[in-house]
Amino acid sequence: MTNKIIKSGKPLNGKAVIPGDKSISHRMLIFAFLAEGSSEIRGLSRGDDVKRTAAAIENLGANLEHLLSSQDSNGDNVLITGGLSRVKEPTYPLDMGNSGTGLRLMAGVLSRFDFLSILIGDDSIHRRPMGRIVEPLRQMGARVDGRVDGTLAPLVIRGGGLQGIDYAPQVPSAQVKSSILLAGMGAKGTTVVREHTATRRHTEEMCQLLELPVEVESVGQSLKVSLQACSVPPFNLDVPRDPSQAAFVAVAASIIEGSEVEIENVYLGPGRDGFLRVLLDMGANIEVHKRTDNTADLSVKSANLQGTVVTGQLLADSIDEVPVLAVAAAYATGETKFLDAGELRAKESDRLVAIEEGLLRLGVAAKIEGDNLFIEATGRVPGNLLTGEKIMCRSFHDHRIAMALSVATMAACNESASNQVTSELEIDDFDAVDTSWPGFIEAFATLQQN
């Protein structure tokens, strides 16, 4: 576990190099594992979370070959040879590290196969709720066990003989939906997932892209997905840039005076554009240049932000970006409210607690009431960042908390013209950032040099 010292930064200028989308990278690896033949994926995320999924499918029989990537790329190009004919029982437990997405998606995949498999992870993963996927997978016919009656990892799975179900998850979660759909691809009959509040659609989009038998019906905020058993063809695809990582650059460029940044080819499909809508509601200066229906280039300039309210569908669509949006709120004028945000408690950390603690240490008026987070700010740099003293903050071994606190500290440069002495921030367990964005600090340093 490595601590990191973060100092006041400089304005950000130039073109940001953002990693490939982590959620899409997981799913492309899994679909390539199931596809009979060779698939090429370009721009794959280099984060440890995705590497865990890559290692898991290799341990299950897929062959993965790294191809040459361009020097300015922030992603990997890989050739994967997979197919059901290659699948084998894993010799050892599959270690998914800190990846809740990887573990939950792989649980759905492994439920298809009549052999024993065990999914483990780090301490954080072993505290995260797994009953939300175990219940529907058991209903489909898989034998799944774990600690506390399968509600906590490690998960022990013996699958096969699955039957499609009609299921409505109690908690909006793309991971739960995807786990059920991935199991349903190998189940008899039709598998249906009904979401009262629609979540990101990466698994459905992969099915549509590969012309698999999926139907997606959207009514208001709800979503119904129906899927038949199917085989997966090999494919050749590019991974778009990760909006959750782009959000850190977009917030930093918005709150650091004099910044002007371009972010290319960002995925902004259903369930992933929430951070952008929140920032625009706050008055951010962001131009969106569409590339395709689901991708766009973003031009971001610094702006004076105002407080806003984030709840309902907008919260669901920006749930992973709340830590850095809270930093935007800390530099905005007025109050920002994140309402009914209980799902933040079930992430890599209890993010409500982690955000509140981090902002309070920076000198921001932040408070939790129930599952609501309130942030009151003046549009100025938080006071504790101007004392000249070192501030200690916990990352809770959560990559998004560590990165969000880093962005908050970099923006202390806004007060340099008034000869204020800025503080240093020491963040513990900063290596958690490698789960999603190795090279995060270096990417910002490059933008500060332009």
The residues near 442 (Cβ < 8 Å, ≥ 6 apart) are: none
Backbone region of residue 78 per phi and psi (left: phi > 0; alpha: psi in -120 to 50; beta: other values)? beta
List the one residue out of 242, 215, 253 whose CA is nearest residue 45: 242
Out of 48, 320, 429, 434, pick the active-site residue: 320
Short-list 95, 98, 109, CA closest to 179: 109
The single-letter DSSP state of residue 20 is B
The answer to whether residue 238 is catalytic is: no
Burial letters 348-358, b for 16+ CB under 10 A, else e:
bbbbbbbbbbb
Secondary structure (3-state) at 209: helix
Residue that has been written with the tokens 């984030």 in this structure:
310
- 140 neighbors 184 (Cβ within 8 angstroms): yes
List, edge to edge, every strand of the sheet that includes 260-267.
13-16, 260-267, 295-301, 285-290
Of 366, 368, 403, 402, nearest to 384 by C-alpha is 366
Take residue 398 and report the two structure tokens written for it: 């959560």
The DSSP secondary-structure symbol of 14 reads E
433, two tokens: 């950032």
Catalytic site residues?
Answer: 320
